[in-house]
Chains A and B, each alone.
Chain A
């Protein structure tokens, strides 16, 4: 996953404010959290920044599949152990007799499900990282030893 500084190093660093942000660092932060699009930085679209633009595009590629909360699931490294299903506080609250006690989810209100041996995220609006009162929850990342769940 790219960092803010990696993105900033590739931006024009002129603080021209054409994107609406006050500095290029602020634009890099907005870019990573997907609030802004790279095309909103007009100077980087010019010919002399072509190489930097290509590099930025490739750096931002892994964040393309992110959900609205910034969650990215890497199915290729998921082992389907279901730790996230059981650890997620939303799953526990919504399915106290299923996911909370380690069994298969008994309803569709849960966020995580294991399909074909890999984790699939749904009901993303229920996530604690979503909406106005969001909190920085790590409950699904911490129990995953393979790093199959990430947030950007």
Chain B
């Protein structure tokens, strides 16, 4: 049994058939996980200024770049092991650099609230064993974490929910489109207009307090009835909800307060995003967008990857296991052409194609072990399935720190 690093569910029940040090077949992993085990089509090669070199020379050049930079930024981290993240935070501290991860434009603000204990949360096992009402809000778990419904939430029979989805559980979907998750929720799908989450929450708060809601009164009262009756509920808050109410998260906090039996679970995509948020929170009290200055750390929107690129405030970028060129808005990317970019990744990505230095890494959870944090905060050990000579993320970062 090995652990899959395809998404933040970190399924530990995967069987792999290895032949001649290659993965021939995966069992129990979803399509996303199976693709992760298959590895990448285009393997990254070490290079400096787009010329092939050996790994040692690439690391040497990378050290020169980050050493000479006045305000470097270290970005990525969500697809790295917890060990690599810890090394990355120490490196940022030593360089007085800014550090940010993909949660900065993903679930960061929600995870911050969870870590600050503003929300009740629970483990996925609790949900499997006890939950009777499941709310997928702005999240298409069926597509982004394909085994979420079958392993932990809707379909399995839990210790106190022996009749599973047939009688014991109700799944509700609130989304702007009829996603695959919404198709499973069938009669309990509430379609809202884009950015309509705020009005929906306010109407739901009214319905929960016994007032007639201003918005789709009949269905809102029906939903409020379902939520009130719940013995153990869970709201799976997806990126759709987070993006829509990111400036007024307090109304979501007040909704959570109104529902004492409910637990909030931020739906994390990348397999170890929560791990980075927890590690940085432990170190500095912030989950992302942080700049170190000696022993102190400052948190500001200016230190986010998007704002640093827009304001052209960074003069070197180290990317670990991420592809900002394909995930960030085009308008802010122009600055990447003016600064040296160091890319540490197992595969060729758009970012690696423009990078000044590329350092190939082993695929974590397949070619190297370690540990990672699941979306509910549980630490899961990763397994090494095949042997090869690639350095792990943690190994590369150790070399960078040593050669500084």
Q: Answer whether A and B are interacting partners.
A: yes
**A residues touching B (Cβ–Cβ < 8 Å)?**
78-83, 85-87, 92, 100-105, 113-118, 143, 145-146
- Please indicate the chain B residues that have their CB under 8 angstroms from the CB of A116 in the complex: 25-26, 34
The secondary structure that dominates the A interface is: loop
A102–B146 CB distance below 8 A: no
B166 to chain A, nearest CB (A): 9
Q: In the assembly, what is the distance between CA of A82 and CA of B6, in Å?
A: 15
**Does B27 contact A87, Cβ atoms closer than 8 Å?**
no
Other-chain contact of A117, B29, B128, B143 (Cβ < 8 Å): B29
What residues of chain A lie closer than 8 Å to B146, measured between beta carbons?
79-82
Q: How far is the CB of A143 from chain B (nearest CB, A)?
A: 6
Partner of B31, one of A78, A86, A87, A143: A78
CB < 8 Å: which of B35, B165, B180 contacts A145?
A: B180
Tell me the complex Cα distance, A81–B184, Å: 12
Q: How many A-B residue pairs have CB under 8 A?
A: 95
- 13 new A-B contacts at CB < 8 Å, known A82-B28, A104-B15: A79-B31, A79-B142, A80-B31, A80-B34, A81-B30, A81-B142, A82-B146, A86-B151, A101-B128, A115-B27, A117-B26, A117-B29, A145-B142
Q: Which residues of B contact A115 (CB under 8 A)?
A: 25-27
How far, in angstroms, from A104 to B396 measured CA to CA in the complex? 35
The list of the 3 closest CB pairs from A to B, nearest first, reads: A117-B34, A102-B156, A117-B31
Q: Does B77 contact A (CB under 8 A)?
A: no
- Contact of B76 with A by CB under 8 A: no
**Within 8 Å CB of B346, what residues of A?**
none
Q: How far is the CA of A81 from the CA of B30 in the complex (A)?
A: 5
A102 with B150: CB separation less than 8 A:
yes
Q: Any chain A CB within 8 A of the CB of B149?
A: yes
Distance in angstroms between the alpha carbons of A152 and B146 in the assembled complex:
27
Instruction: Report the bound CA distance from A83 to B151 in whole Å.
Output: 8
Residue of B147, B150, B151, B164 most packed against chain A (CB within 10 A): B150
Question: Min CB distance, B129 to chain A, in Å?
Answer: 9
> Are B142 and A101 in contact, CB atoms less than 8 angstroms apart?
no
Q: Which of B27, B32, B180 contacts A104 (CB 8 A)?
A: B27
Interface contact A87-B151, CB-CB below 8 Å = no
Q: Which residues of B contact A145 (CB under 8 A)?
A: 142, 180-181, 183-184
Q: Which of A81, A86, A104 contacts B156 (CB 8 A)?
A: A86
| A85–B150 touching, CB < 8 Å | yes
